[in-house]
Amino acid sequence: MTTVFVRRQWNDYRIAEVRPEDLRDPHWRMSSGGVGKRSPRPVLHARMLCTAVQSGELAHSCEHGPPPHDILVCIVKKDNTRAVYAELEEAAR
């Protein structure tokens, strides 16, 4: 796996690229990190440090204190290659 594209909410337009080794605890859930927005169905999520973003943008401001923070991100199927998504999906089982 080379890179993974993540968002803070399943439908956020802001997308960031991270290294797969920076993602922890892949799992399925229906509420996002940050604002806790609900998705229409379970979405693949993982935890990471907010400083792990390689490129792009995430909806995270660090307003509650200096970085790094542990944040929850969504891994949306359409943003990633089949191989990347399948590997994370398998790890979530």
What does each C-alpha distance from 41 to 10, 30, 68 come to in angstroms? 10, 6, 29
H-run or E-run covering 85: helix 82-91
Pairwise CA distance, residues 74 & 56, whole Å:
14
Confidence class for position 1, pLDDT limits 50, 70, 90: low
Q: Which tens digits make up the pLDDT trace of 10-69?
A: 999 999 999 999 999 999 999 877 677 788 899 999 999 999 999 999 988 777 778 888
DSSP-assigned letter for residue 42: E
Mean residue pLDDT across the chain? 90
DSSP-assigned letter for residue 68: P
